[in-house]
Amino acid sequence: MTAAGFCVLLLFAFIHASWNYLSKKADGGVPFIWLFTAIAAVVYTPLAIGVVIYEKPEIGIWQLVIIMASILAHLGFFPVLQKGSNKGDLSLVYPIARGTGPLLTCVLAVIVLARH
């Protein structure tokens, strides 16, 4: 890894940790969640449009179903994470919350791919 890559990695790790700390301290509930979701949508929409224009991915019905499932999963995840971080210690709640996604992904992959 180059020094520049390592510095970028450290910067984003700091930003990520700061975000989680501020999220816990905000105690904002649903309005806070909707605000950061709206900001993320504004920030990432141009990137998504750029990917569609330049990469021209094939987006069929199954891709749209997966996209919608991901949106719904995140709409459920964020309120649960916010509530958990407000009620519990962030150093306990956050690793459990972040580990649940990969765990569920692996379980679903085994279930789906075992049929094929």
What is the DSSP secondary-structure string of 29-90? Answer: HHHHHHHHHHHHHHHHHHHHHHHHHHH-----HHHHHHHHHHHHHHHHHHHHHHHHHHHS-H
Kindly report the average pLDDT of the chain as a whole number.
86
> What is the reported pTM?
0.64
81: containing domain = 3-114
62-108 per-position pLDDT tens digit: 999 999 998 898 888 888 887 887 788 878 888 888 888 889 889 98
Task: Count structural domains, the chain.
Answer: 1
